[in-house]
């Protein structure tokens, strides 16, 4: 049940981000594909241990190891995407600051 709720929340957040980036002209299919691949990797790291029997002696160590790898991957991915270059060779953080400054001026 939590997985379904997490999926719905993720899809809603993704759609809102898509709309915001389309509106500001910063939509990039390359960035979208990178994020989808990352989500698939993270999902597989968490779901693959579920193929093992829950009562088996290898389930808990495998699940914990995969969860730690997923956490480390996430911690590596966030700074990587903050340095992501947009087509105009601007960093994503710089573009967000520009959008924020243009939204603040009347």
d(CA 82, CA 6): 23
**Whether the predicted model's global pTM rises above the 0.95 cut:** no
- Listed by start position, the domains of the chain span 29-104
3-state SS, 22-68, equals HHHCCCCHHHHHHHHHHHHHHHHHHHHHHHCCCCCCCHHHHHHHHHH
Residues 39-84 have pLDDT tens digits of 888 888 888 888 888 888 888 899 899 889 988 888 887 777 666 6
């Amino acid at each position: 049940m939590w997985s379904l709720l997490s999926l719905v929340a993720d899809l809603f957040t993704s759609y809102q981000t898509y709309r915001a980036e389309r509106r500001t002209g910063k939509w990039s299919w390359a960035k979208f594909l990178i994020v989808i691949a990352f989500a698939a990797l993270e999902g597989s790291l968490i779901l693959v241990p579920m193929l093992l029997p829950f009562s088996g002696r290898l389930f808990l160590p495998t699940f914990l190891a995969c969860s730690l790898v997923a956490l480390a991957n996430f911690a590596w991915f966030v700074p990587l995407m903050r340095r992501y270059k947009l087509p105009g060779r601007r960093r994503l953080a710089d573009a967000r600051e520009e959008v924020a400054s243009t939204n603040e001026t009347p």
